[in-house]
Structure 1
Amino acid sequence: MMTQALRFKNKVAIVTGAAQGIGEGVAIALAKEGAKVILADRSDLVDDVAKKLGKLKAKSLTVKVDLETYAGASKLISEAVKAFKKIDIIVNNVGGTIWAKPYENYDEDQIEAEIRRSLFPTLWCCRAVLPVMIKQQHGVVVNISSIATRSIHRIPYAAAKGGVNAMTASLAFEHAKDGIRFNAVATGGTEAPPRKIPRNKNKLSKQEEVWYQGIIDQTIDSSLMHRYGTIEEQVRAILFLASDESSYITGTVLPVGGGDLG
């Protein structure tokens, strides 16, 4: 076995959606294991994460971009290469359900917003980073998916994450020849502090609270362990796939949902 504390020594890693939640957890864990970390987010909250990495004496770079656009993804990759000359790892973590309700209650704009939020950042970042990793002839991409591909009250989000799974498998086929591995972690329900910036800024109606509770109940019921996981439990799986310990794994979606395979 490798010395775990040194798994990412001399590695350059990008983490998108790094300002809070799983993204923040991944960024801190990578830094603790020796990585130089690029923190990508569109929120100023990412500056607080950078301060935490500074206390660890880790080298980092903060890039504030909107990854729902290709221009934002391109800027992120350009800034990372400018600062560190290479990109060994990218963890594409941006995404998350905005509205929770039966599909017939979504309007057109909401459906498009869900897809932009939970599919396009991964599509754009994979496209933007590929030329760099092809030139290097190595790289690791870990896309954050979800077991919500089989769930209730979030069909557009499920469709977006199904797209993440499909592109992960297909990109692995295309680019194994270039020494690039693509995998995904399908996260299950995860206990996390309340979001500092909610995805949906509007207060939920009584009916929306019922629909959201339906997601929680279904998630717990579908898990063989009948509980939510922790951020740390998700981070461990993500770091495994980002590390050389998973060197013979590509094109795989790893469910981390207490037995719920999504």
Structure 2
Amino acid sequence: MSANLHGKVAIVTGVSNEGQVGQAVARALAARGASLAICARTEANVVARAAELKAEGANVIPVVASLTDEAQVKRLVDETLSALGRIDVVVNIAGGLSVYKPSAEVAVDEWTREVNNNVLSAFLVTRAAFPHMAKSGGGSIINFARAGNAQANMLPYNVAKAGVVALTRTFALEGKDAHIRVNAVAPGLVDTGSNVAMMQPKDTSNWAKRDEIADAVAFLSGDQSIGITGQVLEVTGWGYA
């Protein structure tokens, strides 16, 4: 049974390039009735994704923001409340893998960028949305971790996603009294254009699919998952993480 999200408002970050996870998640939530505020750093990209969603019947606003900047995160939350009235769901997708090289070759600025893009962004958005969700009776926050054990040549990303798990479980403990559920979806390797271009695999048939991940997010967004918090749901496709 598909999650019913009619009447709910969701913030989805990282909805930028076509063919990425953010686009799939936004489409899945909109198809189930949610109104959306989608966010990315590049205006042309997020506006294009919003136009696609509107053409499919979605109620959606695009917001341009760098989510490692506290003031811009506040603006994302304020614009969502102004346009859509409430916040019921937050999906922290922004971040991802951008440094793929042997650990000894990782520069400090690369390390800092990867950790901030994945952990700091999720922290700032969650912290900004938390009191508004509590005021309206609770909701669901879904972060993005990674499935399986650490993988070579991905040190900053591995560390960042471990941090996302700790962030998820801590906010889950602190959100119980306010009925705010906080979970993480942990994909294995995903068949996005950027992953394929960076890693140049010979075969992606066993990788997780974007729509599979989107369905997991939709489940955690709706009332069907009302008793689940502080958990990490792995979505690995038919292969290994």
| TM-score, normalised relative to structure 1 | 0.84
Alpha-carbon shift at residue 260 of structure 1 (Å)? 7.2
Opposite residue 243 of structure 1, the aligned amino acid is: G
Alpha-carbon shift at residue 134 of structure 1 (Å)? 1.8
Counterparts in 2 of 1:149 and 1:80: CA distance versus 1, 3 Å: farther
Partner of 1:141: 141
CA contact (8 A) 2:206 2:238 kept: no
Structure 2: distance between partners of 1:194 and 1:153:
16
SS of the residue 1:72 aligns to: helix
Q: Deviations over 1:57-93 (max 9, x none)?
A: 2211111000111112111001101111210101000
Q: CA RMSD in A?
A: 2.2
Counterparts in 2 of 1:174 and 1:50: CA distance versus 1, 3 Å: same
Counterparts in 2 of 1:59 and 1:160: CA distance versus 1, 3 Å: same
Q: Deviations over 1:101-159 (max 9, x none)?
A: 11111111111111111111101101111111121231110001112652111111111
5+ residue gaps, structure 1, are: 199-208, 221-225
CA contact (8 A) 1:140 1:180 kept: yes
The answer on 1:55 being equivalent to 2:84 is: no
Alpha-carbon shift at residue 192 of structure 1 (Å)? 2.2
Structure 2: distance between partners of 1:241 and 1:28:
15
SS of the residue 1:101 aligns to: coil
Write out aligned runs for 1:1-262 (5 A). 4=2, 7-20=4-17, 21-43=20-42, 44-147=44-147, 150-194=150-194, 212=199, 227-258=206-237
Counterparts in 2 of 1:159 and 1:259: CA distance versus 1, 3 Å: farther
Partner of 1:202: none
5+ residue gaps, structure 2, are: none
SS of the residue 2:134 aligns to: helix
SS of the residue 2:145 aligns to: strand
CA contact (8 A) 2:207 2:238 kept: no
Moved over 3 A (4+): 258-262
CA contact (8 A) 1:18 1:27 kept: yes
Moved more, 247-256 or 46-55: 46-55
CA contact (8 A) 1:13 1:37 kept: yes
Structure 2: distance between partners of 1:55 and 1:159:
39
SS of the residue 2:152 aligns to: coil
Structure 2: distance between partners of 1:238 and 1:64:
22
Alignment coverage as a number of residue pairs? 237
Structure 2: distance between partners of 1:129 and 1:149:
30
Structure 2: distance between partners of 1:132 and 1:112:
30
Opposite residue 124 of structure 1, the aligned amino acid is: L
Q: Deviations over 1:7-42 (max 9, x none)?
A: 111110110011231111111111111111111111
Opposite residue 95 of structure 2, the aligned amino acid is: G
| TM-score, normalised relative to structure 2 | 0.91
Q: Which protein has the larger Cα radius of gyration, Structure 1 or Structure 2? A: 1
Alpha-carbon shift at residue 240 of structure 1 (Å)? 0.8
Structure 2: distance between partners of 1:136 and 1:9:
16
Opposite residue 7 of structure 1, the aligned amino acid is: N
Structure 1: distance between partners of 2:237 and 2:192:
16
Structure 2: distance between partners of 1:93 and 1:239:
13
Counterparts in 2 of 1:261 and 1:245: CA distance versus 1, 3 Å: farther
CA contact (8 A) 1:69 1:120 kept: no
SS of the residue 2:206 aligns to: coil
Structure 2: distance between partners of 1:159 and 1:184:
15
Alpha-carbon shift at residue 193 of structure 1 (Å)? 3.3
Identity, % of aligned positions: 32
